[in-house]
Amino acid sequence: MGWTRRLLVCLASAWLAACGTGPLMTPGDDCLSCHRAGGSARAFTIAGTAYSRGDAIATEGTPDLVVVITDARDQRIELQTNAAGNFYTDQAVAFPVAAELHRGDSVRHMEPRVSTGACSSCHAEPPRGGAAGRVFIAPESAAPPSPPPIAP
């Protein structure tokens, strides 16, 4: 490869490393502002970040939650949050969609159906579109304290 091309490839990979694009990138941001048809990155249909508190700061995303999307044709899609709390898919969906967030046996439902998969376009800090804050589900209430040991 010629030196100009090598330089360009090198600059591009340095930029990618510096900007940290990939599954853990920019939690809390509106992913679809770039990840959409005609956007600057691979198109997703649904993407966002899930948290344990509605007013969490962006980098406090919660791993291992499950976002359940039910689309207008009753197709069910389950997305597990990664280490940054991010979730995303490029699977085709029919809007409007309903959303639930699961943590073990606890579930939070979204009341309205929404016509975009840009979850963080409403669920942001400060929130928009009537959302109360981030997509979130609080940790299950702490297990009750174990009973005191029985005296011998």
Provide the binding-site residues for ligand HEC, judged by CB under 6 A: 21-23, 25-27, 29, 31, 33-35, 40-42, 46-49, 54, 67, 69, 86, 88, 97, 99, 101, 108, 110-112, 114, 116-119, 121-123, 129-133, 135-136
Nearer to ligand HEC, 62 or 99 (CB): 99
Nearer to ligand HEC, 1 or 12 (CB): 12
Alpha-carbon Rg for the chain in angstroms: 20
* Residue 105 CB-half CA count within 13 A: 1
Closest distance between ligand HEC and the C-beta of residue 62, in Å? 11
Closest distance between ligand HEC and the C-beta of residue 89, in Å? 10
CB atoms within 10 A of CB 118: 19
* Residue 30 CB-half CA count within 13 A: 16
CA distances from 133 to 57, 125, 126, 127 (A): 11, 6, 7, 5
Nearer to ligand HEC, 62 or 67 (CB): 67
